[in-house]
Amino acid sequence: MDLASRTRADFPILSQKVGLDRKVNGKRLVYLDSAATGQKPRQVISAIDEFYRHDNAPIHRSTYELAERSTNAFEGARERIAAFMNATVQTTIFTRNATEAINLVAYAWGRKNVGPGDKVLLTQMEHHSNIVPWQILCQETGATLDIVEITEDGLLDEADLDAKLTAGNVKLFAVAHISNVLGTINDVAALVEKAHAAGSVVLVDGSQAVPQLKVDFDSLDADFYVWTGHKAYGPTGIGVLHGKRETLETMGPWLGGGDMIKVVNFADSTWNDLPWKFEAGTSAVAEAVGLGAAIDYMIEIGIDNITAHERALTEHALPRLAEIPGVTVVGPPAEQRGGVISFTLDGMHPHDIGELLGREGVCVRTGHHCAQPLMRRLGVPATARASFACFNDTDDVDALVDAIHTAREVFEL
Ligand SMILES: Cc1ncc(COP(=O)(O)O)c(C=O)c1O
């Protein structure tokens, strides 16, 4: 049985029809927006429900049974997440999302290690959350931003990267593992090696990668690796920062408050051990439990199966989209991309595409995808984007293609 038939029934949201008159004329929900936020399998929904029904209590403090269960559920989720990512529990820090994880590094590591004359190197394919925190850091410290270009087919320009690293003074290189617009899969292990050879620390934004392919934090050798729960079949409100232990140990805390301390005096305080030093305040406990269940789910269905399934859907979709007059797909061929396809259609603004596809029950993201500099590089104001998950099948891709044809008819193209 293929992965979509095996998993589709796990996603309660997909069983509904959408449209004005759902009971009679409703359309099958074709969810092609998992790169924006993923749908949640019943296993994740139940884990959160069960936690609140049976185990909810403050963590790390009280000694009664419920509190022990709650703490075990939270720390147990961390252990499974760490094992899945081949990281340790000490180097698996819960944040609110990937954005907060990057900001944490920009503040706690960046303010200490980046100064006037230094450079922070980014790429043209970064999401705003991997641009703006570095911009603020540079403005505050007198460092400068430098940007690695992309090639015409949407790959990282390796020659440009080499030149920018060789120019010197690069303190940090921040790069997406998979682009949320182009779908490009960057060979981050090789990039990390190059950047390290040039003396730079590396942060990898794995927001699009963790739901799609096996990530091994230890062997990638990145100094920091961030990702976000809601795109990885988990709930919103939880993300993860992995960092090298020796680097995390040198960093001071970012947020101060409860849980991140050992001893507090009015004169001074001492900090908790890793990972809690970076987890100030009451944690998102149910969300961590939900993310643990999401990781269990990905392990159960097989992360390699997800990769292969999304590759097959991409291989099916790219030629079908190319057949439609006026459609231009941005980004590399299927072998170099994940399950993300952005496209434009001559004569129609992406927002109109999104609206007309929505009427057919087909959910795609439209706009700049939080990557305005990349849109400028591509010479477009916006694109439409279809993205896949384990539950999508070729019928979903065909529904997308049919809906684009219908939209063209509405616009008399
Ligand atoms: C590549 C990439 N990085 C970072 C983010 C930010 O994720 P979050 O908003 O969950 O922090 C996204 C979300 O769209 C993304 O696609």
Q: Note the pLDDT tens digit of each residue in 142-180.
A: 999 999 999 999 999 999 999 999 999 999 999 999 999
Average pLDDT, the chain: 97
In terms of C-beta density within 10 A (0-12 exposed, 13-18 middle, 19 or more buried), how is residue 411 classed?
Answer: middle
Query: Do 361 and 398 share a domain, yes or no?
Result: yes
Same domain, 240 and 181: yes
* Same-domain pairing of 114 and 62: yes
- Residue 293 and residue 237 share a domain: yes
Same domain, 292 and 330: no
For residues 143 and 283, state if they share a domain. yes
Residue 104 and residue 244 share a domain: yes
The answer on 318 and 290 residing in a single domain is no
Does residue 290 share a domain with residue 352? no
What is the rounded distance in angstroms from the CA atom of residue 54 to the CA atom of residue 67? 11
Structure tokens at 76: 């147990």
Ligand 1 centroid vs 323 CA: distance in angstroms?
A: 31
Q: How far is the CA of 159 from the centre of ligand 1 (A)?
A: 27
Q: Per the structure, how many domains does the chain have?
A: 2
Pick from 299, 322, 339: which residue ends a domain? Answer: 299
In this predicted structure, what is the pLDDT of residue 62?
A: 85
Instruction: Please tell me whether the overall predicted TM-score, pTM, comes out greater than 0.85 for this model.
Output: yes
Residue 62's CATH number: 3.40.640.10
Catalytic residue among 138, 363, 370, 390: 370
Least confident of 23-27, 119-123, 276-280, 291-295: 23-27
CA pair distance 206, 239, nearest whole angstrom:
11
| Residue appearing with tokens 């993310």 | 291
Residue having the nearest C-alpha atom to atom 7 of ligand 1: 98
Sign for the pseudo-dihedral over CA of 307, 312, 317, 319: positive
Q: How far is the CA of 370 from the centre of ligand 1 (A)?
A: 8
Helices 285-301, 303-322: crossing angle, 10 deg rounding: 80
Q: Which residues line ligand 1 at a C-beta cut-off of 6 Å? A: 97-99, 127, 129-130, 176, 180, 205, 207-208, 228, 230, 239, 370
State in Å: Cα 207 to ligand 1 middle.
Answer: 6
Q: CATH no. for residue 363? A: 3.90.1150.10
> What pLDDT is attached to residue 139?
98
Q: Please, are residues 49 and 40 in contact by the beta-carbon 8 Å criterion?
A: no
Rounded distance from Cα 259 to ligand 1 centre (Å): 27
- In the structure encoding, which two tokens stand for residue 302, read together? 């097989």
Tell whether 343 and 229 lie within a shared domain: no
- Residue 26's nearest CA partner among 35, 18, 38, 37 is 18
pLDDT at 20: 63
Residues of the chain with pLDDT > 90, as a percent, come to: 96
- Helix/strand/coil percent split, the chain, to 5: 45, 20, 35
For ligand 1, atom 14: residue with the closest CA: 36
Q: How far apart are CA 98 and CA 193, in angstroms?
A: 23
pLDDT of residue 21: 63
Q: Could you identify the atom of ligand 1 that is nearest to the CA of residue 126? A: 1
Question: In the predicted model, is pLDDT for residue 61 greater than 90?
Answer: no
Residue with CA closest to ligand 1 atom 13: 36
Q: What percent of the chain has pLDDT over 70?
A: 98
Q: Which of 33, 156, 231, 374 to mutate to test the pocket of ligand 1 (most atoms within 8 A of CB)?
A: 231
Nearest atom in ligand 1 to the alpha carbon of residue 97 is 11
Neighbours of 289 (CB within 10 A): 26
Residue 1, pLDDT > 80, answer no
Which atom of ligand 1 approaches the CA of 205 most closely? 3
Do 166 and 269 lie in a common domain? yes
Last residue of a domain, one of 243, 276, 299: 299
d(CA 125, CA 377) in angstroms, rounded, equals: 9
| HSE of 11, CA atoms in CB hemisphere, 13 A | 23
**348-389 confidence digits (pLDDT tens):** 999 999 999 999 999 999 999 999 999 999 999 999 999 999
| Tokens found for residue 93 | 């820090």
Atom 16 (ligand 1): residue with closest C-alpha?
180
**Distance between CA 128 and CA 133 in Å, rounded?**
9
Please say if the pLDDT value at position 222 is more than 80: yes
Dihedral Cα 387, 42, 207, 212, nearest 10 deg: -60
Atom of ligand 1 nearest to the CA of 98: 11
C-alpha 401/C-alpha 339 separation (Å) is: 16
CB neighbours of residue 161 within 10 Å: 20
The residue out of 249, 277, 299 marking a domain boundary is: 299
* Residue 22 banded pLDDT, cuts 50, 70, 90: low
**CA 396, CA 157: separation in Å to the nearest integer?**
33
In ligand 1, which atom is closest to the CA atom of 231? 10
Q: Which of 103, 105, 129 most suits a substitution to test ligand 1, by most atoms within 8 Å of the C-beta?
A: 129
**Rounded-to-integer distance, Cα 345 and Cα 114, Å:** 43
Same domain, 166 and 108: yes
Decide if 370 is catalytic.
yes
Q: What are the tens digits of pLDDT across the range 234-273? A: 999 999 999 999 999 999 999 999 999 999 999 999 999 9
Q: Which domain holds residue 133?
A: 46-299
Whose C-alpha lies nearest to ligand 1, atom 15? 207
